[in-house]
Amino acid sequence: MPDPFSTLTERRLAVLKVLAARGPLTIQQIAAKTGSSRHAVERVLNYEWFERLNSGRASLFGLTEAGREKASDCEST
CATH number of 39's domain: 1.10.10.10
Q: How many CA atoms lie within 13 A of 70 on its CB side?
A: 18
**pLDDT class of 29 with cuts at 50, 70, 90:** very high
Q: Give domain status of residue 59, yes or no.
A: yes
Mean pLDDT, rounded, for 5-28: 94
Q: Give domain status of residue 62, yes or no.
A: yes
Task: Supply the range of the domain harboring residue 42.
Answer: 8-76
Q: Give domain status of residue 16, yes or no.
A: yes
70/31 Cα distance (integer angstroms):
20
**Domain count within the chain:** 1
Q: Give domain status of residue 2, yes or no.
A: no
Backbone φ/ψ region at 54: left (φ over 0), alpha (ψ -120 to 50), beta: beta
State residue 19's pLDDT score. 97
Q: Give domain status of residue 1, yes or no.
A: no
